[in-house]
A and B are shown apart, each in its own frame.
Chain A
């Protein structure tokens, strides 16, 4: 390059380089959490099977053994054993299985219900919109974990009941996002075109508007997934979540609190898995938001 080169060129190059690096950064932030989540999912499916994990099986000779202990049957309890002598690693992975199951089921139910109600509210407006959004206002104007605790203890313990409870407190978020997205889209020309071509309400809502709602909904779903898993763990920690005998990260952490002085690993290790899971979903959510909707980028 000589001095006669157009002056703005380096600036443009720098901007493009910056943009390219930012894009690559986003990709890394999507791939790495996905790999971590993938590993935990595979572990949650495979490990309890390999270990023949049975939550109700007690082996009192092997109880409260520290990580790395060689058990009587020749295996190594790499993360130690709990208060009834079952392998902590297998238990954590079985707990992660419950957490992931609850998370996925809750997201599917609350996502579908919330999306449908949000579409209805945004598309039709009027009293339906007003009623739904007032319900949403009430729910959002109130710490949702309290209602979750109340509903969970009334319904009784059970994986199905937790999914119901968490779906009740989560549909609002999806409904709000879908509704605001529909309000932004419904006056666009392509929607008007579909309307002019004679599309009915059904077609407009599900074929024309729904695809435009998906990107923000996926972003919200990722962050909500972490929230759902956290709430499930909190409820199980409080004893209103999974029933006795069902391993869950929250209930394992709670069981360990009785043995903090003698067996630190029971409470701390499942928490670390929970933190890794939360971090992965947090980073993934941020990265997806940056990718799909750079305007919302957190500074």
Chain B
């Protein structure tokens, strides 16, 4: 078990280092001079030179890289060019909103997909099964920003049931949660359906039935427990897609979250904030997957013994 934990930890650190390096390299490709962006185009060459020195832009790329990594480890990504406050402060303001949205979307997806997957697996090729299969094909084809726009049009512009922008009331959470949960529901439902079908064919289920248990008891908790294990992994993996998708969904709903902060800071060429956003999302994602992998090894001993 210890070896497994260490292996996972090393991989997580490696991934974060890789993402940090990629972000550093990409942002240094910017044709614009960051000092010029801050000082404005009417700054004198002397002002620019002092600013460059202050920002450490006059140092060699290796030194800059070292400082960047050091800062990233302590959560210091420098100040926002536009708002003159530490980038991490801006992120701390919006991160809880995105987290709330992601957790709600996960919860909604789980609540919907468990019964759907269960019903679909009870009668293969039955009505529910067909609806689930066709539905998942459709939900995967729906671009999330477009479905967001359509929901906005119907529920906030035409029916005027729900507010459209910002985060002033809990009602603002409804539409973004649905948009984020949709693709997730289809993936999870299929997972649960296929997982249950596979588990139902195993010997211990036969034993449970042979004991004369009610079909209800065979499914809860016998079958569902093993079928749920892969779901944990998928939730972890999809959480990243959720955070990535949040950039688009939050833009549609003008939702004050980290995805929108990323898009806004990129539009304003505020690269310190942008790279902080990307790295924070990456860190959250890697952390969640680490936890998922560890619980997975705990839930299912076969995993950690496999390697």
A147 contacts chain B at the CB level, 8 A cutoff: yes
CA distance in complex: A153, B145 (Å): 19
Q: Please choose the segment from A50-58, A103-111, A259-267 that sits at the chain B interface, where 4 or more of its residues have CB less than 8 A away.
A: A259-267
CA distance in complex: A177, B23 (Å): 26
Rounded to whole Å, the gap between the CB of B77 and the closest CB of chain A is 14
Rounded to whole Å, the gap between the CB of A254 and the closest CB of chain B is 8
Interface residues in A118-150 by Cβ distance below 8 A to B read 134-135, 137-138, 141-147, 149-150
Most buried by A among B137, B244, B262, B263: B244
Known interface pairs A142-B19, A149-B247, A275-B146; A226-B141 also in contact (CB < 8 Å): yes
Known interface pairs A151-B26, A260-B152, A274-B146; A145-B245 also in contact (CB < 8 Å): yes
Interface residues in B235-270 by Cβ distance below 8 A to A read 240-241, 243-245, 247-248, 251-252, 262-263, 266-267
CA distance in complex: A250, B138 (Å): 19
Interchain CB contact under 8 A, A146 and B143: no
CA distance in complex: A8, B173 (Å): 60
B55 contacts chain A at the CB level, 8 A cutoff: no
In the complex, which residues of chain B have a beta carbon less than 8 angstroms from the beta carbon of A175? none
Most buried by B among A144, A237, A264: A237
In the complex, which residues of chain B have a beta carbon less than 8 angstroms from the beta carbon of A234? 143-145, 248
CA distance in complex: A271, B149 (Å): 9
CA distance in complex: A291, B22 (Å): 39
Which residue of B11, B143, B153 contacts A275 across the interface (Cβ within 8 Å)?
A: B143
Interchain CB contact under 8 A, B14 and A142: no
Rounded to whole Å, the gap between the CB of A200 and the closest CB of chain B is 34
B2 contacts chain A at the CB level, 8 A cutoff: no
Interface of B is mostly: helix
Interchain CB contact under 8 A, B243 and A143: yes
Which B residue sits closest to A277, measured CB to CB?
B141
A158 contacts chain B at the CB level, 8 A cutoff: no
Which B residue sits closest to A256, measured CB to CB?
B149
Rounded to whole Å, the gap between the CB of B279 and the closest CB of chain A is 10
Which residue of B11, B252, B275, B281 contacts A257 across the interface (Cβ within 8 Å)?
A: B252
A233 contacts chain B at the CB level, 8 A cutoff: yes
CA distance in complex: A239, B269 (Å): 13
Known interface pairs A146-B262, A238-B263; A267-B15 also in contact (CB < 8 Å): no
Q: Please choose the segment from B68-76, B80-88, B217-225, B282-290 that sits at the chain A interface, where 4 or more of its residues have CB less than 8 A away.
A: B282-290
A299 contacts chain B at the CB level, 8 A cutoff: yes
Which residue of B19, B266, B281, B289 contacts A138 across the interface (Cβ within 8 Å)?
A: B19
CA distance in complex: A275, B137 (Å): 11
CA distance in complex: A146, B14 (Å): 18
Which A residue sits closest to B153, measured CB to CB?
A260
CA distance in complex: A250, B143 (Å): 10
Instruction: List 26 contacting pairs A-B, 8 Å CB cutoff, sorted by A.
Output: A135-B18, A138-B22, A141-B285, A141-B286, A142-B15, A142-B19, A142-B240, A143-B244, A145-B247, A146-B243, A146-B282, A147-B278, A150-B27, A150-B275, A226-B141, A239-B267, A253-B145, A253-B146, A257-B149, A257-B152, A260-B153, A271-B146, A271-B147, A274-B143, A278-B140, A299-B197
Name A's B-contacting residues (CB within 8 A). Answer: 134-135, 137-138, 141-147, 149-151, 153-156, 226, 230, 233-234, 237-240, 250, 253, 256-257, 260-261, 264, 267-268, 271, 274-275, 278-279, 282-283, 286, 298-299
Task: Give 20 new A-B contacts, CB below 8 A, not counting A146-B278, A256-B149.
Answer: A137-B11, A137-B15, A138-B15, A138-B22, A141-B285, A141-B286, A142-B19, A143-B243, A145-B247, A146-B262, A146-B282, A149-B247, A150-B26, A151-B26, A154-B30, A237-B251, A238-B248, A260-B157, A268-B149, A282-B141
The 5 closest A-B pairs by CB, nearest first: A143-B244, A138-B18, A271-B146, A278-B141, A153-B266
